[in-house]
Amino acid sequence: MGCLGAILSQRGKALGWASVIEVVGIGDDGWSGLDEARRALITGATTLLGGARHLDLLAPHAPDARLVPWPSPLRPALPALVEAHPDAVVLASGDPLRSGIATTLIDVVGAERVRVHPAVASDALARARQGWSAEETLVVTTVGRDLRAVLPHLTDGARLVVLLSDGDGPARLAALLTEHGWSATTLTARWHLGGPDEGARSARADSFVEATPDLVLACLDVRADDPTVAGATAGPVPGRPEDFIDHDGQLTKRDVRASGLARLRPTPGAHLWDLGAGNGSVALEWCLAVDRATVTCVERDATRAQRIRDNAAALGLAARVDVVVGDTAGTDLTTLPAPDAVFVGGGLDPDLLDRAWSSLRAGGRLVAHAVTLEGDAALIGLHARTGGELTRLSVERAVPLGRFLSWTPARTVTQLAAIRTDSEDQT
């Protein structure tokens, strides 16, 4: 539960919220698709909370219930609604914990006050229609999000179920796939799954142009237009070519970047500080490596900071990348979300290293790169206090020399990788 959720949950306890909020998942078949337990919750409700569609569907079966539609915006109004209707039954689509209201309610009032009664989720119905197993299918939601959130998950041969906001979604998704070199993908739009108005349409992405009814999702059998091009950046392993993002030359090169990320060890939901982020190559590969990983970039150059934002948006990562414009020496790191790992790629000095290190929790990881003698000295000094791995990375690439090839060395990089231990005091 986030900070806001914890505060509101405490408030709820203080106000005496003791009853459990019942959240009932409903399929497109409405009342006929409900089992006896969910029917009993609805017919016995004094108050029904939900969207207009669900209230209209079920109002005839709960004639004595008060019908309360969701306000807009929803989240700020939830604490007052729960306070006013502590025993309400909440109506939701399919699985209320799949991009649904139950997730928000739990964040606001706490899991102990929410009981969920799911219907068969729309993505499960879609997989059933496609004959796709859960193990080989990834579900991606774009509901209330940038459609480009699907981009990090596109690999040749992947199977995706993409949850969409409206009937324009399949055509917009098809255009996005075509723009990014995935026009050979078979896109199957499915709407009103499980209901009397269920329908489907299937076509290559580059020929799918018409809108569909609402309450729709898309099943993607992903195929690259050119597998040799797609393969250069496919998969979660870092070390993509330098041109995977727009840049001005100020970025950690792929071999050194791969080494740094191997030691940063991105994990799902972990948060990274990228201090002196340049054009964002390390930050973006951190997010691409695992789902739900997030990053705060600190970059002094406003043009580069904006380029990080643009690169993040182009990769479908805008919601997971925050950029602070400022010099690392003058930025108050204590105002940033607490990190699980820190990468120092620019503006390296002993004070910055000390502040970054002291910000880490036990088990947190720091990786710093230096290319100057002064930077080397700073890393050696920190290593003397923290331990860890101190490594020099030297990379040579073969380049043409007349009719032949010759080795051209890149600038040698000193790398410190250290893990914070329980025995160290955090300040």
User: Which CATH architecture describes the domain 3-120?
Assistant: 3-Layer(aba) Sandwich (3.40)
Task: State how far the Cα of 94 lies from the Cα of 177, in Å rounded to an integer.
Answer: 27
Class of domain 123-229: alpha beta
pLDDT band with cut points at 50, 70 and 90 for residue 353 = very high
Decide: residue 289, CB within 10 A, 0-12 exposed, 13-18 middle, 19+ buried: buried
Structural element, H or E, at residue 189: strand 186-191
Q: Which of 224-228, 265-269, 289-293 has the lowest mean pLDDT?
A: 224-228
Predicted confidence at residue 142, as pLDDT, reads 94
pTM recorded for the entire structure: 0.85
Predicted confidence at residue 1, as pLDDT, reads 40
For the chain, give the mean pLDDT. 91
Residue with tokens 């990786």: 367
Task: State how far the Cα of 34 lies from the Cα of 367, in Å rounded to an integer.
Answer: 54
pLDDT band with cut points at 50, 70 and 90 for residue 202 = very high
Structure tokens at 171: 């055509």
Task: State how far the Cα of 169 lies from the Cα of 186, in Å rounded to an integer.
Answer: 15
Residue 6 has pLDDT above 80, yes or no: no
For the segment 200-220, the average pLDDT, to the nearest whole number, is 97
Predicted confidence at residue 209, as pLDDT, reads 94
Structure tokens at 206: 């580059």
Predicted confidence at residue 322, as pLDDT, reads 98
Annotation: CATH topology of 242-419: Rossmann fold (3.40.50)
Helix axes 101-109, 3-14, angle to 10 degrees: 70
Each residue of 121-176: pLDDT tens digit?
999 999 999 999 999 999 999 998 899 999 999 999 999 999 999 999 999 999 99
Indicate left, alpha or beta for 237 from its phi (over 0: left) and psi (-120 to 50: alpha): beta
Task: State how far the Cα of 105 lies from the Cα of 1, in Å rounded to an integer.
Answer: 11
For the segment 193-208, the average pLDDT, to the nearest whole number, is 96
Residue 282 has pLDDT above 70, yes or no: yes
Predicted confidence at residue 16, as pLDDT, reads 44
Task: State how far the Cα of 153 lies from the Cα of 288, in Å rounded to an integer.
Answer: 9
Predicted confidence at residue 424, as pLDDT, reads 63
pLDDT band with cut points at 50, 70 and 90 for residue 18 = low
Predicted confidence at residue 14, as pLDDT, reads 41
Greater confidence (236 vs 201) lies with 201
Cis status, amide bond into 79, omega within 30 of 0: no
Instruction: Map out the domains of the chain as residue ranges.
Output: 3-120, 123-229, 242-419
pLDDT band with cut points at 50, 70 and 90 for residue 422 = confident
Each residue of 36-82: pLDDT tens digit?
999 999 999 999 999 999 999 999 999 999 999 999 898 899 989 98
Predicted confidence at residue 235, as pLDDT, reads 84
Each residue of 236-258: pLDDT tens digit?
899 999 999 999 988 899 999 99
pLDDT band with cut points at 50, 70 and 90 for residue 425 = low
- Beta bridge partners, 25, equal 92
Residue 427 has pLDDT above 80, yes or no: no
Report percent pLDDT > 70 for the chain: 95
Q: Which of 6-15, 163-172, 284-293, 295-304 has the lowest mean pLDDT?
A: 6-15
Predicted confidence at residue 232, as pLDDT, reads 78
SS3 292: coil
Each residue of 88-106: pLDDT tens digit?
999 999 999 988 899 999 9
Residue 408 has pLDDT above 50, yes or no: yes
